[in-house]
Structure 1
């Protein structure tokens, strides 16, 4: 399925809970910019803005050998290095420095972008890279991104770190040539499934403030002793909307084909329907369930009802002007 660059950028801004960053770059609706160019431009402009405000410094622990004891004495290290014999000690002191994980990730990402055969905005990237003197480069891994925590004073960095992580996950090394190549993540169903879910949830949070929007843990309406209850699987919705006496449970799915095929006949994916039906059947009151897919080759809108519940299947066309996407999403819950 084809998604315009402008819409991909808006999806990312909603999914990352950084809607205010939509205007950071002027994304052309004509789709002339590649995804890598867009991400690089966002990284360059966002970093330049932060550097103009002044690079954030934090206190980072550093091991130093001193003639006097300062900070925390590292007794074992001092013994191993035989420093006491010469009237010195190994200490750990806090240094006020910009050399912390956030800037290390940014600099290391700039370095990887410079290794691209055709790096967009190469001069701007190189300029920012050279400005980060005294900041170490690190090996970027999934674990680095998971473990990097931001103090409240560094919240503006979160959006840039999300961009760095997306580049990291999709910047691959060609083993034959050693060159870096960027794969468009929108072709990866697993990545896009998580993005699509987060986008829809945060869209409703921002655009429909009159609704309570959340992920909900649903409890089985089955009678059993305490031991047997622990055997039941967890049920957690992608998205639940509540307002007054209305409740809508939305399950988002991102597939290359909206339907499964059986003898050339279209059928809803069975596990998707069973899962949503279980959510509804374990509600104490009536509710509406929606299976939401991106439009692949055709738009779909189907409704099924029983005595107390309604299930709807909708597709969202992501290959249209953003106003159309917004109108479709709002219409689904009205």
Structure 2
């Protein structure tokens, strides 16, 4: 059955109970509360909600939700921009570069994510199954491995034709392959595109002799990797993401809800970091600099109030990223607390003569302020940069940072 797809822009579009139905609305709320209890994922009003600071996809029993960044483009292009950002930053273990380049990035997010996962896993399985020696114990008609005397006496006191043995078997039925199978079973019922079904069927064919087990937190936190299975790392990390955010409840049915959600403020910051390093050189950018403090306690002699700007460039420029709109109704808008923070940075960093808040370009036409710190040549600025195309981001940052 094809699911209903709801596409919304982060911090902008609202989903109402009337849009999706009371049962689906309740299911979505319950899923978020269960899987993201410590994160502010949504903002709620009466029978309506919108997603805050997170983008990605949530799949529930009857509805698929896509949350994309609002950058005033078409929804297809905003989806493509998100995939490009995920690829540039290596936010996910699998790149979407080819899918963005060929235009597949305009497909629904879930299909793109699952296609990348299934193609990578199938490619590695075709090269050969990962096998390990696994310890087994069984009551056999032939002696194999080591005779477990205590168990043998208990089980075979009146059976002279069997021996209870423990032995090692070279098998594909190991924890890594069990991880893959568990993830594949979660997404199987949500894969409605023919090519994805084929990939999934082939993957499950390779894993036919692998047990399907439940993964708890302890199992997921085990070390899956060694020198023999490194080629499976990316697919395994993706599988872990699927399992970690899966819930088996969906209105009492045995179907899994799961999600791929990403904190947009952190994604934006990482994206800008990659672009800045291309503009001024990797060695000239320090991220999350934490060597300055604002105040000194006279009584204790200790320095207090740690300053931690997002980026310090060549000791002379400070950049802080803000995933929020810099305009409201075509006029510049800002949070005074952000300006106080920038004042603290530019004051504490004596060699810095310039700092700016960097926002995503969402609307056009607004003129943003440029402040001078009184009695100094230091400035505090607001700047915006496009995020729909990485090369475009680099060129705009180059103009902002170095003026060329």
TM-score, normalization: structure 1? 0.70
The answer to whether structure 1 residue 122 and structure 2 residue 197 are counterparts is yes
Question: Deviation per CA, 1:125-146, whole angstroms, max 9, x where unpaired?
Answer: 1211231245444546777666
* CA 1:219–1:32: 2 relative to 1, 3 Å: closer
* CA 1:90–1:147: 2 relative to 1, 3 Å: same
Aligned residue number for residue 114 of structure 2: 40
* SS of alignment partner, residue 268 of structure 1: coil
Query: Which of 384, 397, 403 is matched with 1:315 structurally?
Result: 384
Separation (CA, whole Å) in 2 of partners of 1:110 and 1:290: 46
The answer to whether structure 1 residue 253 and structure 2 residue 322 are counterparts is yes
Structure 1: 5+ residue stretches without partners: 71-77
* CA 1:152–1:284: 2 relative to 1, 3 Å: farther
* CA 1:270–1:42: 2 relative to 1, 3 Å: same
By how many angstroms is 1:119 displaced?
5.5
Separation (CA, whole Å) in 1 of partners of 2:360 and 2:393: 11
Aligned residue number for residue 235 of structure 1: 307
Describe how 1:25-64 pairs up with structure 2 within 5 A.
25=99, 27-29=101-103, 32-57=106-131, 62=135
* SS of alignment partner, residue 338 of structure 2: helix
Contact 2:357–2:382, Cα closer than 8 Å, also in 1: yes
The answer to whether structure 1 residue 329 and structure 2 residue 402 are counterparts is no
Separation (CA, whole Å) in 2 of partners of 1:184 and 1:19: 12
State how many pairs are aligned. Answer: 311
* CA 1:128–1:69: 2 relative to 1, 3 Å: closer
Aligned residue number for residue 339 of structure 2: 273
* SS of alignment partner, residue 263 of structure 2: helix
* SS of alignment partner, residue 293 of structure 2: coil
Contact 1:218–1:282, Cα closer than 8 Å, also in 2: no
By how many angstroms is 1:277 displaced?
2.7
| 41-50 vs 26-35, greater mean Cα deviation | 26-35
Separation (CA, whole Å) in 2 of partners of 1:142 and 1:200: 33
Separation (CA, whole Å) in 1 of partners of 2:219 and 2:365: 40
By how many angstroms is 1:299 displaced?
6.4
Question: Deviation per CA, 1:247-266, whole angstroms, max 9, x where unpaired?
Answer: 333222223x44589xx975
Separation (CA, whole Å) in 1 of partners of 2:298 and 2:133: 53
By how many angstroms is 1:311 displaced?
2.3
Contact 1:213–1:239, Cα closer than 8 Å, also in 2: yes
Describe how 1:197-216 pairs up with structure 2 within 5 A.
197-205=269-277, 208-209=281-282, 211-216=284-289
Aligned residue number for residue 175 of structure 1: 251
| 11-20 vs 43-52, greater mean Cα deviation | 11-20
Question: Deviation per CA, 1:100-119, whole angstroms, max 9, x where unpaired?
Answer: 55444333222111021636
* SS of alignment partner, residue 193 of structure 1: helix
Q: CA RMSD in A?
A: 4.5
* SS of alignment partner, residue 220 of structure 1: strand
Aligned residue number for residue 196 of structure 1: 268
Question: Deviation per CA, 1:163-209, whole angstroms, max 9, x where unpaired?
Answer: 44555577666436655566674xxxx72222222222234345644
Separation (CA, whole Å) in 2 of partners of 1:127 and 1:182: 22
Separation (CA, whole Å) in 2 of partners of 1:266 and 1:254: 15
The answer to whether structure 1 residue 220 and structure 2 residue 288 are counterparts is no
Separation (CA, whole Å) in 2 of partners of 1:330 and 1:194: 21
By how many angstroms is 1:38 displaced?
0.7
* CA 1:59–1:216: 2 relative to 1, 3 Å: farther
Question: Deviation per CA, 1:59-100, whole angstroms, max 9, x where unpaired?
Answer: 77x575899998xxxxxxx9xx965977x9999x99766555
